[in-house]
């Protein structure tokens, strides 16, 4: 079939298998071009199909030659109906990795469930014995707690007072004001239950109890801080509470892993266009200004550049990774640079529908958004008839 983007709000309903495969190839080539990393051998990536998780998996495999197991929640293709992008990304990765002699298998299911955790443990036992790195990169709006059966829904709201600021609809370029009512205690608790550290800790408890963590195993989860302009909706809002909890959980897990000399870290990553971040008000406006400035300064990075740097310059540089005063690894260092952020503050005041195309990188935002779904990828013939029924070679 000929596949075109079909937008509905912040999501795209279709995905292009060839475009997704090309994105994965480009990421593999990037990692190879940066040379070998003396890194992990057997890696589990939870949230492995898109964004930072996919980039982590590619870096582990092609930077360090690691065997990888990926866990994700993606829609498979049906005749005449495309799969979700993470399906095509993972199929492309596993096809290439297996052709290159790298172990690459995956589990498609709800990572929050006990069943998927058990299935993953069984696969590690059968094929790898033990793992030495666990990447935790889930982004989800809902979670069913497997112990209580309660379904929690996250919200993206400020805490304490109404938040009003500018935002942009990146499809149309229209800049408008948004007002968001503050969250109540229940909404805060639900967001923490979905995006906080509880599930990460459950994973690490189960993996350890099953004896599948190697001595000295490392686990890393991803967080975000960001600037003042997004603070009310992000870091000081409901999602920020969840990130506080996630960051605190790193210490809890490190304590629990002490007897096997294991360690849990949070890495604070840069703001990037992903399916998750596009749904957060104000963030797309911030990202379009940020992209413009970072590109002008020659310090712009995508997911793969971020994760390659995380592995080569932080986690596996030799010795303990450098951390900030709260114990966090920082690869948002270039985003948070004083010269970058002072420029953002200035531009923020001037951002209107008229000025944004000039002072911000809306085109780059749109391009990256389409790219998430395999569209607008250089070298891909979008007029060509393609097969939507792509198989997943490593699927268990």
Catalytic residues: 234
CB of 61 to ligand NAD, least distance (A): 16
Q: Which residues of 116-148 are buried (b: 16+ CB within 10 A; e: fewer)?
A: bbeebbebbeeebebbbbbbbbbbeeebebbee
Q: Where are the beta strands (DSSP E) in 2-61?
A: 7-8, 11-12, 42-46
Among 82, 120, 249, 275, contact with ligand NAD (rule: CB under 6 A) = 275
| Cα–Cα distance, 316 to 55 (Å, whole number) | 16
Distance CA 92, CA 247 (A): 32
Closest among 267, 331, 337 to 296, alpha carbons compared: 337
Distance CA 310, CA 320 (A): 13
Round to whole Å and give the CA distance between 32 and 37.
10
Residue 276 within binding range of ligand NAD, rule CB under 6 A: yes
Identify which of residues 18 and 239 has a Cβ nearer to ligand NAD in the complex. 239
| 52 scored as a contact of ligand NAD (CB under 6 A) | yes
What's the rounded Cα separation, in Å, for the pair 275 and 10? Answer: 8
- 224 contributes a contact to ligand NAD by CB under 6 A: yes
Our finding on whether 272 is near ligand NAD (CB under 6 A) is yes
Is 175 in contact with 154 (CB distance < 8 Å)?
no
**Checking phi first, is residue 129 left (phi over 0); if not, alpha (psi -120 to 50) or beta?**
left
Nearest partner of 137 among 217, 218, 200, 228, judged by Cα: 200
Please measure the distance between the N-terminal and C-terminal CA atoms of the chain and give it in whole angstroms. 27
Cβ of residue 195: shortest distance to Na ion, in angstroms? 13
Site for ligand NAD in 252-271 (CB under 6 A): 269, 271
Query: Is-contact 166 285, C-beta < 8 A?
Result: yes
Give the range of 72-80, 166-174, 340-348, 355-363 binding ligand NAD by CB under 6 A.
72-80
Cβ proximity to Na ion: between 137 and 371 the closer is 137
Nearer to Na ion among residue 269 and residue 343 (C-beta): 269
Which residue among 49, 120, 218, 308 contacts ligand NAD (CB under 6 A)? Answer: 49
Residues 63, 86, 237, 284: which binds ligand NAD (CB under 6 A)?
A: 86
Smallest distance from the beta carbon of 275 to ligand NAD, in angstroms? 4
Q: Which residue is nearest to ligand NAD (CB)?
A: 51
Give the contact letters, 352-381, x = binds to Na ion (CB under 5 A), - = no.
Answer: ------------------------------
Q: What share of the chain is helix, strand, coil (3-state, %, to 5)?
A: 45, 15, 40
Interacting partner of 86 out of ligand NAD, Na ion, none (Cβ under 5 to 8 A depending on kind): ligand NAD
Q: Residue 222 binds which entry of ligand NAD, Na ion, none, with Cβ cut-offs from 5 to 8 Å by kind?
A: ligand NAD
**What's the closest the beta carbon of residue 297 comes to Na ion, in angstroms?**
26
Using the contact rule CB under 6 A, the part of the chain among 132-140, 310-318, 336-344, 355-363 near ligand NAD is: 132-140
For residue 50, state whether it binds ligand NAD (rule: CB under 6 A).
yes
**Closest CB to Na ion among residues 304, 386:** 304
CA 369, 382, 291 angle in degrees (round to 5)? 25
> Please, what is the minimum distance in Å from the beta carbon of residue 138 to ligand NAD?
4
Figure out which of the listed residues 23, 59, 106, 137 binds ligand NAD, where binding follows CB under 6 A.
137
Q: Binding site for substrate, residues? A: 224
Query: Which residue matches tokens 């270039």?
Result: 334
Please say which residue, 198 or 214, places its beta carbon nearer to ligand NAD.
198
H or E element: which one contains 206? helix 198-209
- The per-type count for the chain, helices as H runs and strands as E runs, is 14, 13
- How far is Cα 326 from Cα 222, in angstroms, rounded to an integer? 14
111 belongs to the binding site for ligand NAD (CB under 6 A)? yes
Can you tell me the distance from the alpha carbon of 265 to that of 270, in angstroms, rounded to the nearest whole number? 16
Q: How far is CA 366 from the centre of its chain?
A: 18
Contact call for residue 288 and ligand NAD (CB under 6 A) = no
* Interface positions, 211-250, toward Na ion (CB under 5 A): none
Contact set for Na ion, span 40-59 (CB under 5 A): 47, 51-53
CA 341/CA 77 separation, integer angstroms: 42
- The residues binding Na ion (CB under 5 A) are 47, 51-53, 137
- The residues binding ligand NAD (CB under 6 A) are 47-53, 71-74, 86, 110-112, 137-140, 222-224, 269, 271-272, 274-277
């Amino acid at each position: 079939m000929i596949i075109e983007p079909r937008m509905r709000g912040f999501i795209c309903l279709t995905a292009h298998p060839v475009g997704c495969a090309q994105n994965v190839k480009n990421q593999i080539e990037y990692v190879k071009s940066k040379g070998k990393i003396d890194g992990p051998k057997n890696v589990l990536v939870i949230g492995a199909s898109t964004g930072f998780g996919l980039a982590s998996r590619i870096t582990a495999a092609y930077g360090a030659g690691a065997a990888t197991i990926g866990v994700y929640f993606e829609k498979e293709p049906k005749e005449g109906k495309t799969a979700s992008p993470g399906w095509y990304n993972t199929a492309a990765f596993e096809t290439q990795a297996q052709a290159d002699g790298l172990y690459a298998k995956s589990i498609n299911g709800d990572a929050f469930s006990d069943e998927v955790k058990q299935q993953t443990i069984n696969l590690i036992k059968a094929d790898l014995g033990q793992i030495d790195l666990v990447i935790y990169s889930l982004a989800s709006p809902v979670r069913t707690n497997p112990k209580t059966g309660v379904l929690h829904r996250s919200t993206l709201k400020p805490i304490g007072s109404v938040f009003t600021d500018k935002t942009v609809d990146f499809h149309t370029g229209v800049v408008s004001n948004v007002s968001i009512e503050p969250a109540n205690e229940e909404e805060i608790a639900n967001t923490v239950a979905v995006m906080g550290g509880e599930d990460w800790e459950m994973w690490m408890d189960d993996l350890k109890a099953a004896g599948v963590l190697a001595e000295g195993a490392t686990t890393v989860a991803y967080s975000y801080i960001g600037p003042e302009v997004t603070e009310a909706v992000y870091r000081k809002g409901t999602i920020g509470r969840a990130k506080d909890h996630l960051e605190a959980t790193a210490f809890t897990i490190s304590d629990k892993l002490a007897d096997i000399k294991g360690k849990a870290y949070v890495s604070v990553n840069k703001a990037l266009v992903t399916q998750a971040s596009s749904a957060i008000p104000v963030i797309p406006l911030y990202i379009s200004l940020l992209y413009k400035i970072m590109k002008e300064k020659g310090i712009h990075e995508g997911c793969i550049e971020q994760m390659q740097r995380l592995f080569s310059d932080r986690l596996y540089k030799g010795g303990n990774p450098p951390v900030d005063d709260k114990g966090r690894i920082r690869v948002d260092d270039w985003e948070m640079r004083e010269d970058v952020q002072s420029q953002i503050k200035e531009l923020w005041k001037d951002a209107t529908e008229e000025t944004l195309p000039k002072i911000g990188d809306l085109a780059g935002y749109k391009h990256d958004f389409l790219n998430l779904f395999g569209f607008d990828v250089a070298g891909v013939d979008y007029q060509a008839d393609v097969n939507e029924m792509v198989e997943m070679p490593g699927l268990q």
